[in-house]
Structure 1
Amino acid sequence: MTDAAIPPGKPTPAAGAERTDRLRAGLKRRYAREGRFKLYGLLAIGVAVGFLLLLLGRIFDQGHTAFYAHTLTVPVYMDPARIDQAYPQGTNFEQLVAEQQLARLGIADDEQGTQSTAMRGLFSSELKFVAADLIRDRPALIGETVPIPAPLSDDADLYFKGEISRDTPADQRRLSDQQLAWLDGMKADGMVTSHFNSALFTKGDSTEPELAGVLGAVVGSALMLLVTALIALPLGVGAALYLEEFAPKGRITNLIEVNINNLAAVPSIIYGLLGLALFINWMHLPRASPLVGGLVLALMALPTIIIATRSSLKAVPPSIREAALAMGASKTQTLFHHTLPLAMPGVMTGAIISMAHALGETAPLLLIGMVSFVPGIPAGLSEPTGALPSLIYIWENASERAFHERTAAAIMVLLAFMIVMNAAAVLLRRRFERRW
């Protein structure tokens, strides 16, 4: 018996099997490409996370020591012959403490005062204010021996933090071998204690690292963000509402939209040049003030707020508008009673992100004068002040080594503010977002 003839055009079993094998091989290659693509994505995410952890780890490693400081508690005899009772601040407490410490160690000073000068170098200039305040508050202590918590100098503090080593050649460090021996002896006697460095958060900038804090810069940044929010939010949201809901579509509207999108990509330093020319040179507003800084940051934040608000309005379904209009509501009522409330999560998210972006800007602030040393805490919008980004720039360029750890600490404070603001944006979106 012969096999049945295969009809013309119908594939033979061998051809069908070959075709199946080709399809399986193609699927295998396709799945392999998909697997490689997923692997590349995971590698890219891993590299990005690795660099982020490396950056954050480096910042934390350099800046965590700024959050604690050391104090040397020394017994001081309040000599009535050397203390000015009427004006305690005029007393040379630093020399008094240095001489008594040398006497306690049994070291005689020379005619040039070399030993006392070296001993004074271990204490911060804050010592005279601590002692003067103590005498002013309690005059009865004159003539008695009083333990005074003396703040250490930045170099002595760095030594106890392990940032200055004995192995470093003497000509390459600011503390001599004798000073290091004194510090070791004081620590062995239990006179040195470590504590949380509250001055970092309660004081303004200073020329001495151990006295410098971020409070002035934090207040300056807060005042600038207040001005930015008061100007950029109403103008940005209002412009977006008009362009999206009321403006007639035409060449002028298209031109405005293109320019807004372009302004969002303009480098921030250009806004600094604009603020310098417009607000300082032409309007003669006070240089390096929160008012000028807030105006410059408001100009920079406006395009982002407008774009984010328009995107949120577009995300509201047209049926919401149509239903409101069908019920007799006017276009304005429809916008403010229905469309805008539903778009508010996106509007608030865009506003917070734009504020966080403005908080971290440095270039425009440098051009309007916020690069100079400004001690104290600003009390108004027209007073000279600093900001966290400019303070970081100033401290990083300082010659004293102790400013470098405070630079990293200020970066950590700035990152904390930005993380809080971005987290607030995410929470607001998740809390009020509606899925259509």
Structure 2
Amino acid sequence: MSNQTLEAKARDVTSTADEERRRVKRRHAANRRMQIYGLSAIGFAVTLLGILVGSLVWSGSPAFVQTHIRFEVFVDPSKVNQDDLYRSNWRSIAQDGFLATLPEIPNPRDRRAAAGILSSGAPYVLRDMIISDPDLIGQTFEVSLPASDPIDQFNKGVVTRDVPEDQRIVSNQVIEWYDILDADDRLSTPFNWRLITQADSRFPELAGLSGAIVGSFYALMVCFLISFPVGIASAVYLEEFAPKNRFTDLIEVNINNLAAVPSVVFGLLGLAVFLQFFGLPRSAPLVGGMVLSLMTLPTIIIATRSALKAVPPSIREAAFGVGASRHQVVMHHVIPLAMPGALTGTIIGLAQALGETAPLLLIGMNAFITSDPGGMLDPATALPTQIFIWADSPERGFVARTSAAIVVLIGFLIIMNLIAVVLRQRFQRKW
């Protein structure tokens, strides 16, 4: 073989090796670009999520504390109706004790303005204290009652004194009285437990989420009791027992389509069927739970069927091999292995139902309810509809409470997803 032929072959080998190296470099570069794209997308999503949660926490944090005014009050027996404490003159008792902390104010108009520093709902708080302990009648004791919403906003810095008087909700005279109270160390901002323990109120400083939380609990309980057994049974039948024909194919298509139907359609269905046809009570958690169960069923069925499909065929074959019937195979082997996935799908479906607003609005669960519902047939609101109500309120104090309610709702959603992860890890079996 000549030297020219050897040199040509060597050049071909070198060229082929160089081409392979270039291809490997291109593949590695493509992999690096894909990783960068993926990390960038994740970083962008996490950044947006952080901005959302951060803005909600920042705007809602003032609602988690509440301005209170500390002063002594004398429960005058002459102003108390011993036969019916609810009909006593609690407003006069609270205002007299509060105005005693300020310099003499002879003008009735100024006295009304000064009394406005105290919340309009403060007399009801005092009334509840006396009802829980009637021995306080005729005594002088110290109380800490909530301030009005303008004073609360001013104390938290939402309303500032450097704004012209005609452009803020707190007058200069009220600011002078506020400074006197502040100098006497009568103002405090404790944690606002009323946001969690009290129901809704027309006064922002007294409004809470207790009624909405209880209403959401009842609705989700009804939703779970209906959707979980029906969804699991439907998925098991369709996946393990139903014959494969056009009818079952039609059912599967409709189930997949129902999972994508807008929630407002289910609300219209509940309005037409449950309220107008069956005559069930409006604004009741029972109706809300039934409507939410219609939304949750497709999610549970699809998730359960996926969990059933994930069970290895060898499990079924081994059970059949030892003489088990189809019913025994499904009940004793397949369902226990698929239950973690079914529970995960159920909790995710319930979490989705917890955040739904449109169907609950259509069945009337957005009424003004000032007490916790006593049962599933009592009028109630839910967390999403309570957020909607507060967002539509004109008072400035409800702005922070709206964001705080969203934070509480997100907290419940996180808890439910954590429960789904724990249950999946707890019941998951490896094979």
- Report the AA paired with residue 264 of structure 1: A
How do residues 189-204 of structure 1 correspond to structure 2 at under 5 angstroms?
189-204=184-199
Structure 2 unaligned spans of 5+: none
How many residue pairs align between the two structures? 430
1:100-120: CA deviations, max 9, x gaps? 65565333332xx21111112
> What is the DSSP-based 3-state SS (H/G/I as helix, E as strand, rest coil) of the residue aligned with 1:233?
helix
Bigger shift: residues 423-432 or 199-208: 423-432
Deviation at 1:279, TM superposition (A): 0.7
Corresponding position of 1:398: 393
Inter-partner Cα distance in structure 2 for 1:214 and 1:31? 55
Corresponding position of 1:6: 5
Bigger shift: residues 169-178 or 46-55: 169-178
Structure 1 unaligned spans of 5+: none
Deviation at 1:231, TM superposition (A): 0.7
Aligned partner of 2:325 among 325, 330, 341: 330
- Report the AA paired with residue 65 of structure 2: Y
- Give the conservation status (yes or no) of the 8 Å contact 1:89–1:128: no
> What is the DSSP-based 3-state SS (H/G/I as helix, E as strand, rest coil) of the residue aligned with 1:201?
helix
- Give the conservation status (yes or no) of the 8 Å contact 2:67–2:187: yes
- Give the conservation status (yes or no) of the 8 Å contact 2:105–2:111: no
> What is the DSSP-based 3-state SS (H/G/I as helix, E as strand, rest coil) of the residue aligned with 1:400?
coil
1:126-169: CA deviations, max 9, x gaps? 33234445555355652x54322222112212222121111222
Deviation at 1:61, TM superposition (A): 0.5
Inter-partner Cα distance in structure 2 for 1:237 and 1:103? 66
Alignment of 1:208 with 2:199, yes or no, is no
Aligned partner of 1:34 among 10, 23, 31: 31
Inter-partner Cα distance in structure 1 for 2:51 and 2:146? 33
Deviation at 1:25, TM superposition (A): 2.3
Inter-partner Cα distance in structure 2 for 1:62 and 1:321? 55
- Give the conservation status (yes or no) of the 8 Å contact 2:94–2:126: no
Corresponding position of 1:59: 56
- Report the AA paired with residue 225 of structure 1: L
TM-score of the two chains, using structure 2 as the length reference: 0.93
Alignment of 1:306 with 2:301, yes or no, is yes
Aligned partner of 1:428 among 411, 423, 427: 423
- Report the AA paired with residue 356 of structure 2: E
Corresponding position of 1:169: 164
- Give the conservation status (yes or no) of the 8 Å contact 1:95–1:116: no
1:76-101: CA deviations, max 9, x gaps? 34456555555554454444554565
- Give the conservation status (yes or no) of the 8 Å contact 1:99–1:116: no
Deviation at 1:335, TM superposition (A): 0.7
Alignment of 1:416 with 2:411, yes or no, is yes
Aligned partner of 1:352 among 333, 341, 347: 347
Inter-partner Cα distance in structure 2 for 1:353 and 1:63? 26
Corresponding position of 1:45: 42
- Report the AA paired with residue 428 of structure 1: L
- Report the AA paired with residue 362 of structure 1: T
Task: Calculate percent identity across the aligned residue pairs.
Answer: 48
- Give the conservation status (yes or no) of the 8 Å contact 1:232–1:301: yes
How do residues 256-271 of structure 1 correspond to structure 2 at under 5 angstroms?
256-271=251-266
1:306-354: CA deviations, max 9, x gaps? 1111111111111111221221211111110111111111111111111
Residues 281 and 321 of structure 1: is their aligned pair in 2 closer, same or farther, counting only changes over 3 Å? same
